[in-house]
Structures are given as C-alpha cells and as structure tokens.
Structure 1
Amino acid sequence: MDTAATAGRTVLTGADGTPVMSYVDRSRPGAPTAADARAHGPGAARAALEHLAGWTVTAVDGLAGELVAGGGQQVRRAREMRRDLAADPPPEGWADEEPGPGLRLAALGTGGDGLGELFSTFLAAFPEDHPDRRPERSEADEFALLAALVGGRALGPAMDLSGLVVDDDGGGGAVRVGAALVVNDRPDEVPWIGEVFRRPDPRYAGLGGLLLRRALGRAAEQGVPEVGLAVTEGNPAVRSYERLGFRTVGVYSTVRLPATAL
C-alpha cells in the first residue's frame, strides 16, 4: 500500500497502484486527523485501519460504518450545513446589529481576561450533558482545543468575522464574555463557523444568533459566497441555523481508529 498527494488530498493506493481511499490531512500536534475520507474502491476501510492507526477519521456513513466494524470508535455524528450568501443574500441590517444596553461588541480575544474568560463562558455554555461535550475529554483537553481553534491551529486562522459580546458589569466589577463566535479561514474550504456559544443567562439570550447574523451580513458585504459549519446530531441548535438560512448538505461520522493496526 502506498500513499500519494493529489490536489490537496492524500491518496492510499493498493498494491497495483489503484487508489482505494483519499482524505484531507488536517492533523495538528498530537492529533493526527484525516478529514473528508472517501472510498475509491474495495479495501478502503482496511487501508485506513492499517495505515492510519490511532488517527481520527471523518467519513460518510458507508465508510464510517466499516471503520467502526473494524474496531474504530465513533465519537461524533454530525451534519454539515452551508449558507449560500450569493444566491440568497442576508437581509439588510444584519451586518450592523448591536447588542442591548450594557453590552458591547469586541474583537475575539479582547474580552475579560482573554482566553481564560472565554473558556469560562465555553464551559458554562457546554455543560457535561450537552451533545457537544465529549465525556472522554477533560477540561484541560477542552481548553487546548479552544486555544487551538482561536489560535488558528485547528481549522485555520480566525477571521475578523469572529467576535464577542462582552458585559462590562458581569458581576463584581469584572468584564464577562456573554457570547462568542469563532469563524475560521479553513484551508481549501469555505469560511467555517468553528464555534458559537453564549452563557446560559437570560441577559445573554439571543446573542449567539446576533453574532452569526452580523458575521453573515459582513461576509456577504465582503463578497464571501458561502459559509459552512458542522453541528452534532441531537443538538437543537440546528433549528436556529436553519432559521438563518443554513441547509444540510451531508451527514458524517468521526471515528477514532485503534492505536495499532489490526
């Protein structure tokens, strides 16, 4: 079995040189990741299990099912959604929406005490029973993932479409992040909603949607044709995305392969 790179994709080939599987390598230190894995012939799952041992692989149901049958562990099932900004431009005014009294917009990373306050809001938004909170990940793991996302090491650089809503009187005179949006300039993809969340407090209700509307409006003004995101199956946020004009384009599973080849 050999590997080759073709148009940004890594290709696994059989003994006769025929491609059997391809993927986009989105690995980062300590987290080898094969995204958008595609089968091109018989033996795709076997090739992945042999040559990508210990990797995390995202694939559509057929290939994902074979990887699980071969010993992989499904860790997430999600739908990919897209918002077409060219054929269906956002309503006028979205780009200029402002939060209510006592709240203000801020650039990503400028609210509260930086990433620490942002992570505090993240933990409040994603309690342990939330569909997007993985039980196998510690708080340290979650912090590292958020830091990688904001720092551009997970899905590409954070774009200026990202932003925060901060509360200058968040309690005890401290500045609190009420809501956050991270939009990443994903390589070889459309701009990507890496994360959007808010504190579960009535004062901050609707702020995630406000940040999304602003981002979509501003992206359209900049000539961005499309924006994408992924949402875990079972997360009720999918209805909010649909109201904003996002449409499902596919469903895939994330599978962690055994650490040793079978």
Structure 2
Amino acid sequence: MLGADGVPVFSYLEGVRDGNPWAYAIEDIGAGAADTITSRMPGWAVSAPAELGRALLDRGARLLRHMHVMWCDLPIARPVADAAPAGFRIVPCDRSPAEIFPAWFAAYPPGHPDHRPRDGEKALKEELVPLLSGEEIGPLLPCSVLAVRDEGEVVGGVLVTDSNRGPWIADVFRHPDRSPRGLGALMLSTALVHAGADGLTGIGLVVTEGNPARRVYERLGFRVVAATMTVMI
C-alpha cells in the first residue's frame, strides 16, 4: 500500500473475513500507515500489530478482536500424560466438515471471548469448509486431531495448518456440553506430540485477550511473542 506521496507504508496479505475484505500479516509499517489505512480502506477488516491497531482505534476504527500471538518450541513442549477419558478417543482429523461442524460451532457460545453472531449454514460453507480444505490458511497438517465419543460423534479438535507463518494452530475447539473439561489440553498435547514426531520444530497460534485457554497454552509450553488487533475500518 502506497501513501499519498507514493512511498510504500506497509505490506499485507489479502483475504476475506465475515464477508468483508481483510488485510492481515501486515509488515514493513512506515510513517502514515494509520492515516493511509483509514482513508483508503473503509469497510476493510485489518489485522495489525497492537500499536498500529490502537492508532486505528483512535481514528474511529471498531475493535473486532485483540489477540496475543503465541509460539511453542516443540523440543521443550510439555505434553500432558493423561489418557483420554472413558468413552472418548483422540483420532486423526479425517472426518467430513459436516461431522466436525456441530462441535466446532457450539464451541463459541455467547459469553465466550471468541463468540460472534453468525448463521450456521453460512459459517459451515464460508469458514469451516475452506479451513479444512486448506483454502483459508494453508493445507491441514497430519498432526491435526479430533476428539470423538466411542460411538463416533466428534466433540472437539485441534486443526493445524501449514500457513505462511509456518505450522499454525488455526483452531482448538471443544463442545461445551458433549465433552469433559480437560479434553482441550489433551487434544492439544496430542497434536504437539504428533507435530514433533513429524519433524516440526515449532508451532504458533493466537489467543484472544481474556480467553482463559491462554493458561492452558502456557502450561503446555507456549509463550507470547506479539500482540495484534483486528479492527473494522
């Protein structure tokens, strides 16, 4: 993106978020970036480092999500030793989007830091299907796992993608009514063990400000490396 004087003020990748154009992975931020984004990108969702995000909020942008980027060096990951609770199994992520959707959609009820009102059919078609197919972030990696009941119902999962930032956990989800507490940590730990066995040396994720899951991530070896904000211009 060029400023008013024709000098580049930042670089970004372009995508779609909730039906709106989305600028993310913003880098090479120069003077005037906040003013340029405000004047040139109305109607865009923008994910930016926290400092730029605050400058955009000061110029009237609306906060969508305040996130912390976390990274785990797999050689020092601290796996959970527990086995799956009776009646549950941890399996490869080899089910269809329709089978995964009920638990994925139910994982973010009202009151959850990542809840946002949305139509279920649209979320399946425009969010989960592209995520699982690799179109949204990158190909799903073999270390991705699902938690299922013995009869086969999917109740949770960890979706790991090969993103432009390297191995990336795109989602950790658990059905709040159909699965026991602690299953999320077990799923994530299992995915980390599989990732290490596959030769990966590190893995990242983002967690929303105020999400108690951050404590679980820290317990498993993740550390905060950056803060970002997604705002609507």
Match of 1:121 among 97, 103, 106: 103
Alignment of 1:131-170 (within 5 A): 131-135=113-117, 137-143=118-124, 144-169=126-151
Could you tell me which residue of structure 1 aligns to residue 210 of structure 2? 234
Q: 1:38 to 1:89 in 2, by over 3 A?
A: closer
Offset of residue 104 of structure 1: 2.6
SS at match of 1:165: strand
Offset of residue 219 of structure 1: 1.4
SS at match of 1:157: coil
Q: 1:84 to 1:250 in 2, by over 3 A?
A: same
Could you tell me which residue of structure 2 aligns to residue 45 of structure 1? 34
Deviation string, structure 1 residues 51-107 (Cα, Å, up to 9, x no partner)? 333221111222112222333211000101000124x2555x86xx75243323333
Q: 1:57 to 1:28 in 2, by over 3 A?
A: closer
Match of 2:171 among 195, 199, 206: 195
Q: 1:196 to 1:32 in 2, by over 3 A?
A: same
Deviation string, structure 1 residues 11-70 (Cα, Å, up to 9, x no partner)? x23354432222233458944221132463322112223333322111122211222233
TM-score (norm 2): 0.87
Could you tell me which residue of structure 1 aligns to residue 88 of structure 2? 103
Task: Work out whether residues 38 and 63 of structure 1, in 8 Å CA contact, stay in contact via their aligned partners in 2.
Answer: no
Alignment of 1:60-75 (within 5 A): 60-75=49-64
Task: Work out whether residues 61 and 231 of structure 2, in 8 Å CA contact, stay in contact via their aligned partners in 1.
Answer: yes
Segments of structure 1 that go 5 or more residues without pairing to the other structure are: 1-11, 170-174, 258-262
Task: Work out whether residues 179 and 204 of structure 1, in 8 Å CA contact, stay in contact via their aligned partners in 2.
Answer: no
Aligned sequence identity (%):
39
Deviation string, structure 1 residues 136-163 (Cα, Å, up to 9, x no partner)? x333443332222222122111111112
The aligned amino acid for 1:142 is: A
Structure 2 Cα separation of the partners of residues 45 and 217 of structure 1:
41
Q: 1:47 to 1:216 in 2, by over 3 A?
A: same
Stretch deviating more after TM superposition (194-203 or 150-159) = 194-203
Structure 1 Cα separation of the partners of residues 215 and 78 of structure 2:
17
Cα RMSD (Å) of the superposition?
A: 2.5
Could you tell me which residue of structure 1 aligns to residue 221 of structure 2? 245
Structure 1 Cα separation of the partners of residues 103 and 163 of structure 2:
24
SS at match of 1:200: coil
Stretch deviating more after TM superposition (49-58 or 26-35) = 26-35
Task: Work out whether residues 156 and 185 of structure 1, in 8 Å CA contact, stay in contact via their aligned partners in 2.
Answer: yes
Structure 1 Cα separation of the partners of residues 210 and 153 of structure 2:
29
Q: 1:228 to 1:107 in 2, by over 3 A?
A: same
Offset of residue 233 of structure 1: 0.5
Segments of structure 2 that go 5 or more residues without pairing to the other structure are: none
Could you tell me which residue of structure 2 aligns to residue 22 of structure 1? 11
Q: 1:168 to 1:37 in 2, by over 3 A?
A: same
The aligned amino acid for 2:120 is: E
